[in-house]
Amino acid sequence: MSAGWWMLFNSAEFLFAFLPIVLVGFLWLGKYSSARAPIAWLLGASLFFYGWWNPAYLVLIAGSIGFNYTIARLLQRRPSRGLLLLGVGVDLLSIGYFKYAGFLVDNLSALAGTDWHIAHILLPLGISFFTFQQITYLVDVYRGDRPERDFIRYALFVTFFPQLIAGPIVHHGDMLPQFRRFADRGQSTRRLVIGATVFIVGLFKKVVVADGLAIWATPVFAVADQGAPLGALEAWCGTFAYTFQLYFDFSGYSDMAIGLGMLFGIQLPINFNSPYRAHSIIEFWRCWHITLSTFLRDYVYFPLGGNRLGPVRRYVNLMLTMLIGGLWHGAGWNFVLWGGLHGLYLVANHLWRAARPTKTASQPLTQFVCWAFTLLVVAIAWVPFRAETAAGSTAILHALTGAAGFSTPVPDLVFGVREIGTLLALAIAVRVLPNVYEFMREAAPEIPAVRGAPRGLRLGWQMQPRWAVVVGIMAALSLISLHRVSEFLYFQF
């Protein structure tokens, strides 16, 4: 599906038509109408946003909402395990059909030596996110949480457009109370400015930084997937170009989602806390895609037994959780391999921590080595995550070892001092610069504090002319770059 069919946050139709109309209508209704009107307005806008891609899939998301709402109400009356399994089972069958049916049939066909196949199934946008949100909702209602009685509020919880397509994965306990308090909110100019600033920072990350890096990363992986030889220089530069592209793409999307939420008086959960500052893989997973990590911990790792059944079972549970996390990202063995690598990383990290003294080394050199090694192994694991074929993944990993030579002359793959210097500068930037939440924290105490990774430089935004100029320049550079509109990488998941 072409990106032109999607109403992307970085598209002209979103920035200059959809968002202004929805925001002005929301503010007007909030001031001059009942408390339910803004909720209904946002629900209608969110459904329009989703239907812009493919109106036919409005039937899917509407059916999912109606089904899970009904099951939750029935669970309140009679908390039956069978009813819960029915609800979760139907949700999993839905995502399984659209996301994994082709993968399953292809593998069964290969095992049986047949030519079975099914027609290509177009993956509905955001199905992983809105399905997982509703599964957690059903599980929590079964455990005793009160279900939402207001259908419009529940539907908005599922479809709220800032986080509908690529997260963060929101929890009903965080979102539904905010929708109930719409009547009490005050939408100040200050909050609008802060929300717009966070959004612009995310937009800059996406269209200037991430899309700029795609020009370097994409050709390297395309060449590897086509079977052409690569040298170590091209392989390492392509790997780190994608490492930073993915970071700024998904981090930018998450910032934009949080900024949009603030424009409408809604606080979305933080999904990124500078994971490339991490000194260990354990620390990395506390900071990367935080809402998915939380979901996997609470609804996969803990139900498997967590660390309550001894160290061996703990490591088995870690591996299973990460394999499931890998498969969540896509129907392909490359994603399973990526999840397995991170499972091995986590097991090794826990074994290392168990074998060494508990006191954390504070020497700058030790911290630097830990940070550099963590970033290195994370970058290597991104290779199978990004490569479209097993042969392409193998070719790049082979080239990274230097076995294929230092550099292989391939058209359009010219990495010189400028490209290498830019990648090194980005490595320093993600290590020392504050993330947007640290950057805004002093002026916006409503942004929750983030923990897990070392703090960046203490550089804080204030509602002052000098920062208006800086943000204005970022907005201008972003708008200039809109001619190369591209989808967000996590849209495919």
- Name residues whose C-beta falls within 8 Å of residue 276's C-beta, 6 or more positions apart in sequence: 247, 375, 378, 427, 430, 431
- The rounded distance, in Å, linking the Cα atoms of 26 and 195 is 15
- The rounded distance, in Å, linking the Cα atoms of 448 and 438 is 10
The reported pLDDT for the residue numbered 455 is 62
Count of beta carbons in the 10 Å neighbourhood of residue 116: 10
Count of beta carbons in the 10 Å neighbourhood of residue 121: 12
Count of beta carbons in the 10 Å neighbourhood of residue 155: 21
- The rounded distance, in Å, linking the Cα atoms of 22 and 30 is 12
Contact of 81 with 151, CB cutoff 8 Å: no
- The rounded distance, in Å, linking the Cα atoms of 318 and 278 is 19
**Active-site residue, 329 included:** yes
Catalytic residue among 171, 172, 279, 329: 329
* Tokens standing for residue 378: 């994370």
Kindly report, residue by residue over 373-421, the tens digit of the pLDDT: 999 999 999 999 999 888 899 999 999 998 877 877 666 677 878 889 9
Domain ranges, ordered by start, for the chain: 3-187, 190-492
pTM for the whole structure: 0.89
The reported pLDDT for the residue numbered 105 is 77
- The rounded distance, in Å, linking the Cα atoms of 289 and 326 is 13
- 3-class DSSP string for 75-98: HHHCCCHHHHHHHHHHHHHHHHHH
The reported pLDDT for the residue numbered 3 is 42
Of the candidates 52, 23, 49, 19, the residue with the CA atom closest to the CA atom of residue 38:
23
Q: Using the 8-state DSSP alphabet, how is residue 264 labeled?
A: T
* Tokens standing for residue 367: 């911290």
- The rounded distance, in Å, linking the Cα atoms of 167 and 491 is 9
- The rounded distance, in Å, linking the Cα atoms of 260 and 309 is 43
Kindly report, residue by residue over 1-11, the tens digit of the pLDDT: 444 456 788 88
pLDDT beneath 50: ranges in the chain: 1-4, 183-184
Integer Rg of the chain from CA: 23
The reported pLDDT for the residue numbered 485 is 63
User: Torsions phi, psi of 490, nearest 5?
Assistant: -80, 0
Of the candidates 288, 338, 307, 330, the residue with the CA atom closest to the CA atom of residue 452:
288
The reported pLDDT for the residue numbered 2 is 40
The reported pLDDT for the residue numbered 225 is 87
